[in-house]
Structure formats: C-alpha cells, structure tokens
Amino acid sequence: MSGNVELLNDTLAKAKAENRAALIAYLPAGFPTVDGGIEAVKAVFDGGADVVEVGLPHSDPVLDGPVIQTADDIALKGGVKIADVLRTVREAHAATGKPVLVMTYWNPIDRYGIERFTAELAEAGGAGCILPDLPVEESGVWREHAEKHGLGTVFVVAPSSKDDRLATITAAGSGFVYAASLMGVTGTRESVGASAEDLVRRTRATTKLPVCVGLGVSNAVQAKEVAVFSDGVIVGSAFVKRMLDAPDHAAGLVAVRELAAELAEGVRRAS
C-alpha cells in the first residue's frame, strides 16, 4: 500500500489556491493515553487543521521544550509504543481523510528498521515523516524507502542555515520544508521573530516546495502574522498546553478544538 504524500501535496496546494496558509497542528501520540491522543487529533482536525503531525514520544527530545517534554513523559510512562503511533495515524486518517505525518527523532526508526517503519506507516495511511535530527547526508537509505512507499520526507531548516546549506536540505526533501522560526526549542512565545520571514524568503529561493513555519506560534494573531509570508503555520506546544491545563480529558478536547478553530480563522484572515 502506498502512503499519502500526494494527499499532503494536494492539501497544501488547495490552501495556496484559496490564498491562505495551511494550518498544521502537532500532538504527541499516547498523550494523555493512546485512545485520548487519537481523540485529540480528531478534535484538532474537526476544529480546522489541514494537516496533523503525530509526535513519536522520545526520552531525549532535543528540539522540544518543557511543554512537549511533559506530554512525552506522560506518554512514555503510559507505555506508548511505535505500534500505538501507527494506530494513531491510521485511525486519525481513516476518520478524517486528511494527511497525517509522524514527527520523530531518528533513533526509534533506526532501531525499529527503516523498511519496516516506512511500510507500516504507508499501510496506516501516513503521509510521511518530519525528521529534525537526521542529517541530509545520512538520509539516502531512508529517502529511498520513503519514496518507494509514497511517503514525504520533511527536513527542518533554521535561521542559522546558510544559503548553500538551505539548497542542499530542500533538494533532498519532499512534502514541505519545516522552517524553524528561531533558534532554540519548541514552545509558545510572545513574538515569533522577524528572522522567520527572512528564513522563508531565503528558503523559497532554493525550492518550489511549500515552506511552513513552526516554533513559537500559539494564537490567532501570531498565526495571521506568519501566514502572510509562509505557506503553512505549524502549532504544537499551544495545543499540548491546552490539554495539560484542562481539568479533564473532555475539557481538553473542547479546548484543542477551539484553538484549532481560532488558528484556522487566523491563517484565513491573512488572505
């Protein structure tokens, strides 16, 4: 069975045709439970997200700030496995028909087996992977298997990336380019930073792939600001924080659905 990178491509193209940025949400699998995490992904889609990244919880999430680390700890203590991540992808995609990616560090895939992981992710209906710590120079085997199974490979670029480095990274990627708006870890911030717009401009000069901005976006005002100059707005910690702050799971689902609706309005107001 082939994965859904074309669905991801079509979804981002549709948003562009509507003269708006796409809304890409992130939630870790297994948080607060496997079933609860699946419900949360569905709620975010119901609220208006175009794409969801399902995080594969990791014990040493170098790119993630304290909010996502807390959620990962809860998921890992609950015994979340790669099979649960794949189930989350499968059930979320089956229920919504929308593109679902996995965001993961490299070590779990390497240990699980590249061919096994790509085949099972494609079978689950996944659209691809975001791999923040996989160097492009070491990604050939992964990309070969991902392409064979119809999966996208999304790499991360940062404000510190030089222009020639951006060209190397974007030439290897597919689906979209994840532009980290600032240096540091994930988390909500008061300002997304002017460096994001410059990074998008420089990245676009190297590729025709959509360039989507993440790290720091937490509300509709910031989403609108970023949507003016990017192809997609990526929001993670704000969704996780809504779940963590909710008095119970049902309230958490309402909270993330409402946040998705607010952000979806923000990316549309930019048009």
Q: Report the catalytic residues.
A: 53, 64
DSSP for 33-67? Answer: -HHHHHHHHHHHHHHT-SEEEEE---SS-TT--HH
Beta-bridge mates of residue 233: 23, 213
Supply the angle between the helices 34-47 and 237-245 in degrees, to the nearest 10: 120
What does the block give as tokens for 204? 């676009």
Residue type at position 163: D
3-state DSSP assignment of residue 22: strand
What does the block give as tokens for 4? 């859904």
Which letter, b or e, does each residue of 222-252 get, where b requires 16 or more Cβ atoms within 10 Å of its Cβ?
bbbbbbebbbbbbbbbbbbbbbbebeeeeeb
What does the block give as tokens for 118? 């790509």
Place of tokens 């190397």: 168
Q: Where are the beta strands (DSSP E) in the chain?
A: 22-28, 51-55, 100-103, 128-130, 152-154, 156-157, 177-180, 211-214, 232-235
Tell me the CA distances in angstroms from 23 to 16, 42, 171, 174, one per residue in order. 11, 14, 24, 18
